[in-house]
């Protein structure tokens, strides 16, 4: 299980995924299906995300399949951006088609 911020053209979103990497071809395909073709992705510590999102995290996680899936935990860009410090974010991964 992985948590991360995906910076898109319309702002950041916070996702949970069972994919190992943010550039996994299957994850890229799922993001493209949501209209996200170009993005910057940063890992976040799962425990930090759980701490900040509490019960909402648990509800969304409960809906996440055990294999190859993706859930948007927060799509309010302001919340996502200001809930985490830059030091909490992992090294950015840049993706463009």
pLDDT-above-90 percentage for the chain = 76
Which band of pLDDT confidence, cut at 50, 70 and 90, is reported for residue 79? very high
Query: What is each CA distance from 81 to 3, 63, 69, 86, 96, in whole angstroms?
Result: 14, 24, 23, 9, 21
For residues 22 and 52, what is the distance between their CA atoms, to the nearest angstrom? 22
Q: What's the pLDDT score for residue 70?
A: 87
Tell whether the model's pLDDT for residue 66 goes beyond 70. no
**In the chain, where the domains are located:** 2-95
Which band of pLDDT confidence, cut at 50, 70 and 90, is reported for residue 75? very high
Strand partners, 95: 39
Q: Which of 1-5, 55-59, 78-82 has the lowest mean pLDDT?
A: 55-59
Q: What's the pLDDT score for residue 64?
A: 62
Is residue 25 classed as helix, strand or coil in its secondary structure? helix
């Amino acid at each position: 299980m992985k948590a991360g911020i995906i910076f898109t053209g319309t702002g950041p979103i916070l996702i949970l995924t069972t994919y190992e990497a943010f550039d996994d071809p299957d994850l890229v395909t799922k993001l493209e299906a949501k209209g996200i073709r170009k993005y910057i992705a940063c890992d976040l510590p799962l425990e930090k995300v759980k701490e900040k999102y509490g019960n909402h995290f648990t509800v969304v996680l409960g809906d996440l399949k055990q294999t190859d899936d993706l859930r948007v935990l927060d799509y309010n860009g302001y919340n996502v951006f200001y809930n985490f410090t830059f030091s909490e974010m992992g090294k950015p991964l840049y993706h463009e088609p």
